[in-house]
Structure 1
């Protein structure tokens, strides 16, 4: 289903969608069963047969609905909400591994992917932490060499490198803890 720019898609709870599908499937199965039973035993009254199957559907659908609702909540929704919380934690600059506490295979795969992402963010942050220091030290060395022959140029180089150092530090700070 394509969504046009500017349109929003209606959201639905995973538990509600899954349990509604299961309840609908159960109801369809029971209707098909009732039709087949009526075809095999036409002597049974249609009203009695419908009532009998309505009772079966009600008794089957209620526990199936509750079991699926609880199952979806425990196995999927709770870990997905925890993942959302963990990813917000990472996005605000707090490092550390992501743990969902789930045994669901697909969620474990998402957990591994999130931990790989965190690991790479940490590696990039550590690699970028010392990035300009050598270059800025080289500029300071050049300024020191020029101090005796061209003090004005040396001062300009030192001033520019100081401004650059502050700008880079500010940039790094925004990268570690962006505003959410």
Structure 2
């Protein structure tokens, strides 16, 4: 089975320092939905692992998050693509849970649900915590420049062995066309 793990905000949809709090605020990054459809067509199961601390902060509720994800699924279906599962952490940073990235809880849940070892599985994110969790579980971290990616690069904490891509479309093109991550 080919599996890829995607962060949501900043990878699939536009991100905001004020959080994405409603379906109206959820807007796909140009080319991201087509990229997921290409990955599906190439045999990848696409899974989302996302921190959604807006729930823990009281900015929106689980029903609103579900409505955002329904919009994502609906728009993606128009391109012939789908997401196999969405895993999310609803906790605020101070709640010290085991699922908020960079903690490995969401990734452990993915491994268990899909019955796979995450060694070498592509994990695409736009922040240092996305890179850290992928490295912690042996997945292959990949950084995109969209969302907070440029800021993450500017901080200078991403090691040279992490492949960097302009966006999710570039990741998909690389994986689909060459099967390699560099």
TM range (shorter): under 0.3
TM-score (structure 1 length as normaliser): 0.18
Indicate the structure (1 or 2) with the bigger Cα radius of gyration.
1
Relative to its length, the structure with more strand (as a share) is: 2
Which structure exhibits the higher relative contact order, with contacts defined as CA atoms closer than 8 Å and separated by 6 or more residues?
Answer: 2
